[in-house]
């Protein structure tokens, strides 16, 4: 359904060119959930925003292709792009507290996407909600609010975002995303700003949506644990580049890239035995000063001289497992 080829998004800054998304290739099958994992600032969010072509100034998509249902999004006219946003591709954001517009009622904000895309005029919606667009829209909004688990929807419809808790706000945002039955949902750390118990609820809500509507989801998270539990495939990103992509059990069970291995080791485990967690030493590199070679090399335990000089290609090591590391044998993609 979604195929990204060699996508690059750059930000010119005073300190130099930041390659926030560097030659990223990814694909998502219909109804699949893909986890995009990495530390903060590694380009995960920018990858999602590049798909929607909503890169903030002064960033720019400088190369690559993004095929959605066969056509390249990067070649679409602005109006065609707008028609896709919110209708076929919807996004859920990281911080629900600041993502709802504070001056509009929540019900109004959920209904807005329906109105922009003229959803209530469409045959499938008309059959279900009737011909009166105003009544149909409200009906649809209330149904969406119920679906995402907002209680007493009749009152909540007329409330403002500040009257909602963080978890409820994120549910409202998911309702906005779902309103036009999108085929692709881009979820940018949807649970990071929420309490752990609420996190689990929101994740299972996304899982339910995926199951019931067949919505493809790209879940961006910095939490490998969340990705492991929730996604069919995982892509690990480091400093703007993908370093390992594969099915969840393979990436978690037999990780090959030193960064993925390090990430897995640094997750604290709950067990009676006290194990020391092993952090990855060093810091995420400054993306503005990135020279050639593997960006992870300065922190890598198995680094070789060649790692600094060569641009390392992605290598296919089994059918669906790709790794970008000189230490891993395999043929280039």
Partner 1 sequence: MRLARVLERVFVAIPVMLGVAIIVFFFMRLSPGDPVDLMMGEAGSVSPREMEALAREFRLDEPLHMQLYHFLAGLLRGDLGNSFVKRKPVARLVREHLPATVELAIGALVIALVIAIPIGIISAVKQHSILDRVSMAGAFLGISMPAFWMGIVLILVFSVYWHVFPSHGRLPFAVGLKTITGFYTIDSILTGNWSALASTLKHLFLPSLTLGAGTAATIARMTRSSMLEVLRQDYIVLARAKGLTEYAVVVKHALRNALIPTVTIVALQIGTFLGGNMIVETVFGWPGLGRLVVDAIQRRDFPLVQGAVIVYALTFVMANLLADIIYTFVNPKIEL
**Does 95 contact partner 1 by CB under 8 A?**
yes
CA distance 100 to 110: 10
Ramachandran class of 49: left when φ > 0, alpha when ψ lies in -120 to 50, beta otherwise:
alpha
Count the neighbouring beta carbons within 10 Å of the beta carbon of residue 246. 24
101 interacts with partner 1 by CB under 8 A: yes
Closest CA to 168 of 186, 194, 192: 194
Residue 175: CA count within 13 A, CB half-sphere? 29
In this chain, which of 17, 74, 83, 200 binds partner 1, going by CB under 8 A?
83
Q: Decide: is 87 part of the binding site for partner 1 (CB under 8 A).
A: yes
CB 303, min distance to partner 1, A: 38
Strand order from edge to edge, sheet including 33-37: 89-92, 184-188, 216-221, 33-37, 233-238, 241-247, 321-323, 315-318, 331-332
How big is the site for partner 1, counted in residues (CB under 8 A)?
A: 29
Determine how β-strand 184-188 pairs with β-strand 216-221.
parallel
Q: Minimum Å distance from CB 242 to partner 1?
A: 23
Scan residues 133-172 and list those touching partner 1 (CB under 8 A): 160, 162
Residue 103 interacting with partner 1 (CB under 8 A): yes
Counts of helices then strands in the chain (DSSP H, E): 13, 13
**Contact between 100 and partner 1 per CB under 8 A:** yes
Q: Is residue 229 within the footprint of partner 1 (CB under 8 A)?
A: no
The reply on whether position 72 binds partner 1 by CB under 8 A is no
CB of 325 to partner 1, least distance (A): 34
116 near partner 1 (CB under 8 A): yes
| 223 contacts 3 by C-beta, under 8 angstroms | no
58 binds partner 1 (CB under 8 A): no
Closest approach, Cβ 80 to partner 1, in A, equals 11
Query: What is the binding site for partner 1 (CB under 8 A)?
Result: 49, 52, 54, 56, 82-87, 90-91, 93, 95, 98-104, 112-113, 116-117, 160, 162, 173, 176
């Amino acid at each position: 359904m979604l195929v990204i080829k060699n996508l690059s998004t750059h930000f010119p800054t005073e300190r130099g060119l930041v390659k926030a998304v560097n030659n990223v290739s990814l694909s998502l099958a219909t109804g699949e959930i893909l986890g995009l994992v990495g530390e903060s600032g590694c380009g995960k969010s920018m990858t999602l925003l590049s798909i929607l072509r909503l890169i903030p100034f002064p960033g720019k998509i400088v190369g690559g292709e993004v095929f959605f249902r066969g056509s390249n999004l990067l070649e679409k006219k602005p109006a065609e792009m707008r028609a896709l946003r919110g209708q076929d591709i919807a996004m859920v954001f990281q911080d629900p507290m600041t993502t709802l517009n504070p001056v509009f009622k929540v019900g109004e904000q959920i209904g807005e996407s329906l109105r922009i895309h003229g959803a209530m005029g469409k045959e499938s919606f008309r059959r279900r909600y009737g011909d009166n667009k105003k009544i149909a829209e409200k009906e649809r909004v209330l149904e969406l609010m119920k679906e995402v688990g907002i209680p007493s929807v009749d009152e909540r419809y007329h409330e403002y975002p500040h009257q909602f808790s963080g978890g409820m706000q994120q549910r409202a945002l998911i309702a906005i995303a779902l309103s036009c039955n999108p085929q692709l949902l881009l979820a940018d750390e949807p649970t990071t700003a929420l309490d752990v118990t609420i996190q689990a609820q929101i994740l299972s809500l996304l899982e339910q949506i995926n199951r019931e509507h067949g919505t493809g989801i790209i879940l961006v998270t910095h939490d490998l644990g969340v990705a492991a539990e929730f996604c069919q495939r995982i892509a690990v990103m480091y400093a703007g580049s993908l370093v390992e992509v594969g099915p969840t059990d393979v990436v978690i069970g037999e990780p090959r890239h030193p960064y993925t291995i390090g990430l897995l080791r640094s997750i604290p485990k709950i067990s009676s035995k006290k194990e020391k967690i092993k952090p990855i030493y060093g810091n995420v590199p400054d993306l503005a000063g990135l020279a050639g070679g593997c960006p992870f090399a300065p922190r890598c335990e198995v680094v070789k001289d060649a790692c600094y000089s060569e641009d390392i290609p992605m290598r296919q090591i089994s059918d669906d497992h790709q790794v970008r590391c000189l230490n891993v044998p395999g043929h280039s993609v």
